[in-house]
Structure 1
């Protein structure tokens, strides 16, 4: 009798946890949908303002700054996500001190690196990018470096306080809206590359100020010195490996852009960068699910509640897979029409988009395995296998890009993403004896297949009728969504999915 009562109590706790997650998921999801639309609009504006060559230079400069930011942030943002929930759970007042220390260190590092980047810009431009025009681009982007670094730190702190919805609103609504408005002003006033870089920096500065204001209210000063429960050594031993993981993952995601900058023309980099941005929509769910569930992974692991942890892992992984599959379907069928929105010269990236989309689909298929490792204290496993994968990615790019150009870069990236996610899946299974897959996944696969068939025939009929690419995208995408949802409805929703939809429908 007691055992049955305990089982029911555990079920009730899990349902309550899912309800809490779904409520946050609602706002993060809304923010990300808005972000996708804004991101699409800003990408189109950038492509039309800059053209293929200037867009290539913009992307190369941004990539350099993002690489340097990994070292200036030093994994502290993820360390805050890991340890702030523990401090809050133990009602410890040390959180403010930890956040302030992280901001100070990151700011000093970013100023030092920005100065170095400013003065080394001519050397980088001449010896690596083979373009004198990259000098001014790198120097202007160096101003952006401290802003981006501090934003990463304060965003990690806010997520660690279980307010992923707030960071989502800043990163996915406020900043993109300001960026879009500034780009519109640039578009109509005739501004170009330098103006676009400043337009990128301004909204992130605004977002940083808003998040710092929130942290000052949420983490008030303590009347007495807080008891230290998280040593600096423990924090650094967690964060520094995550800096390496962040560097590895960034190189894995940007190795293609970095190496294309050396081997091919800037115009080809511009075409490739647009295909990359569109393909990233496939991992839209990662940006929604991961920020919401990872603090709970950390807390459940700390409490040794591995049964609930495994159940949450499976449910979150299924939601993640559905999100990727339902975005990949329309991209698969409509890739040429989508690229045409950016300009006729970008349609050449259709094959690149398809290959990258397949790689990102493999990413979401692995579920939340990476966060399962990191947030449960197994981050060193991530470092070990990721180091091997980034070497493989480098070698594949080095071999394929000189022979196949941008297509070779896409193949190298897709293969590397697939391999690293297989490695993470194996690690999670070996450590926890759990995998995310179940027959429930088949519903989503069948629904997406039916949606793709409908989308294909609608596209074919509209091409035969001579309609434009915008009309084709709208109507064919609608047919995919309608048929996919109808198929899932016929097959029946799972209990967790019903709960999610009910909360999403509430105002």
Structure 2
């Protein structure tokens, strides 16, 4: 009975954090979609392709600067609290954040200096864009330390089980400011460097507020009069980077897996195919936001469960979260497959060639989300070196197929490369988690969500045509209500406490 109550309490806590994160992720995904639409409409295919290539290089460099601390700054604070060593939390934060600051400054300088070479490589077929492309890259380079530090600080707040800073500052504030500023630049028909500045400027206030949030959480949780010894701090630093080191390489490879394809399309196919590919795959970012929204809420509790040997509780969290992820993302993927031409026409006639890109990527995302946040589960189980190997294999797959297929198929070649890499990067850790840790995502909630999504948004439109699409949403909502038990949706309800005499 006690185990059941603990599982229920953990599920409700994850649901509360996950719901807030999901709402924030929906806003961030929606504003990101709107920003892509504004850029595609206002800059034209050539300059839009340069913008997407610039932001891909910026995010890739920022991921490298974070040195894998997205995992370490959640895993170690959670572990220190679960094992009764909160006095080491300050040393843990310094261990994780100081190298990020130094690495991001160095990479910002490198990006500034390499901007002309990057611009010439990715815009070789559009010489008139190279100058603006170079300036845009340098504008982004100035803000690179803020981007890396913001993500590291917000990751640290999640290590304290605090989801609110991530939701309010990153999902709401940054996304809203980006939409407002980029929208104003689009209305003013601004140049590529100005659009890049409006896109990146919101990192400044978000960084300041993120630093305040982690400072407040640290002071609230610091034990009064607690002292630490030099040997303890040295041991923590060694253990932190022994755990985080492989994850640092894996996170860079993971980010490269998501971003390097845009750069390769621009270099091997041209800026216009790069713009088509970025626009056609924009919905993938929306799915990734949903995944982050749920996994970031699950991550600290999963780390605590695995640290204390609670395999049953960890498996329950993993399966429940995967069911929620499938319930949210599979309808989006299936709808995108059904409505690919309409989806692309929103961005203009120049992007209609991306229909097959959409279908290939949506199919791969069905497999990836069906495995749940499996790479995070593998990392929280301490197998960061396995995670590194998996991501490197997936990165090799996508780069190899991109180099082979982009010159022949353009954006579709990049989509095939990314799809194969996504499948490999989810199936391999799925097998490893099952064999080494004894966890799997295929609980009753996952099965119910998959069956309901495929029936309503796959089979029904296929059988009934356009009328089936109209019926899909109400039938899906009715099914969600009937299957709320297996889907564990009661965790999202707040029951009033009964009064006692």
From 473, 477, 481, the counterpart of 1:485: 477
Q: Measured at CA, do residues 232 and 100 of structure 1 come closer, stay the same or move farther in structure 2, by a change above 3 Å? A: closer
Aligned partners of 2:218 and 2:392: how far apart in 1? 37
Q: Which residue of 2 aligns with 1:20?
A: 13
Q: Which residue of 1 aligns with 2:237?
A: 232
Q: Between 424-433 and 35-44, report the one with greater CA deviation.
A: 35-44
Q: Which residue of 2 aligns with 1:47?
A: 40
Q: Which residue of 1 aligns with 2:79?
A: 86
Q: Which residue of 1 aligns with 2:107?
A: 113
**Cα deviation, residue 246, structure 1:** 0.8
8 A contact 2:357–2:415 mirrored in 1: yes
Secondary structure of residue in 1 paired with 2:87:
coil
Give deviations 1:63-104, integer Å, cap 9, x for gaps. 112222233211123211111112334252332343245333
Q: Which residue of 2 aligns with 1:470?
A: none
**Cα deviation, residue 407, structure 1:** 0.7
From 422, 428, 431, the counterpart of 1:423: 428
Give deviations 1:415-447, integer Å, cap 9, x for gaps. 111122111111011112332224554433332
From 116, 124, 136, the counterpart of 1:122: 116
Q: Which residue of 2 aligns with 1:289?
A: 294
Secondary structure of residue in 2 paired with 1:367:
coil
8 A contact 1:28–1:288 mirrored in 2: yes
8 A contact 2:31–2:175 mirrored in 1: yes
Question: What are the within-5 Å matches in structure 2 for residues 206-285 of structure 1?
Answer: 206-220=205-219, 225-227=227-229, 228=232, 231-285=236-290
**Cα deviation, residue 248, structure 1:** 1.5
Which segments of 5 or more consecutive residues in structure 1 lack a partner in the other structure?
1-7, 462-475
Q: Measured at CA, do residues 187 and 403 of structure 1 come closer, stay the same or move farther in structure 2, by a change above 3 Å? A: closer
| 1:494 partnered with 2:485 | yes
Aligned partners of 2:123 and 2:423: how far apart in 1? 29
Q: Which residue of 1 aligns with 2:156?
A: 157
Question: What are the within-5 Å matches in structure 2 for residues 171-182 of structure 1?
Answer: 171-182=170-181
From 401, 404, 412, the counterpart of 2:409: 404
Q: How much is the aligned-residue C-alpha RMSD, in angstroms?
A: 2.4
Secondary structure of residue in 2 paired with 1:342:
coil
8 A contact 1:279–1:353 mirrored in 2: no
Give deviations 1:13-72, integer Å, cap 9, x for gaps. 111111111121221122122223222222212222222111111111111122222332
Secondary structure of residue in 2 paired with 1:94:
helix
**Cα deviation, residue 459, structure 1:** 7.3
| 1:307 partnered with 2:301 | no
Q: Which residue of 1 aligns with 2:185?
A: 186
Question: What are the within-5 Å matches in structure 2 for residues 300-449 of structure 1?
Answer: 300-438=305-443, 440-449=445-454
Aligned partners of 2:156 and 2:170: how far apart in 1? 14
Aligned partners of 1:290 and 1:203: how far apart in 2? 25
| 1:29 partnered with 2:28 | no
Secondary structure of residue in 2 paired with 1:93:
helix
Q: Which residue of 2 aligns with 1:3?
A: none
Work out the number of aligned pairs and report it.
Answer: 483
Give deviations 1:315-347, integer Å, cap 9, x for gaps. 222222222212112111112212222222222
Give deviations 1:345-383, integer Å, cap 9, x for gaps. 222212111111111111111112211110111111111
Q: Between 84-93 and 160-169, report the one with greater CA deviation.
A: 84-93
- When the two structures are superposed, what TM-score results if normalisation uses the length of structure 1? 0.89
Q: Measured at CA, do residues 483 and 496 of structure 1 come closer, stay the same or move farther in structure 2, by a change above 3 Å? A: closer
Runs of 4+ in 1 over 6 A off after TM superposition: 456-459
Q: Which residue of 2 aligns with 1:99?
A: 93
**Cα deviation, residue 458, structure 1:** 8.5
Q: Between 194-203 and 99-108, report the one with greater CA deviation.
A: 99-108
Aligned partners of 1:37 and 1:128: how far apart in 2? 28
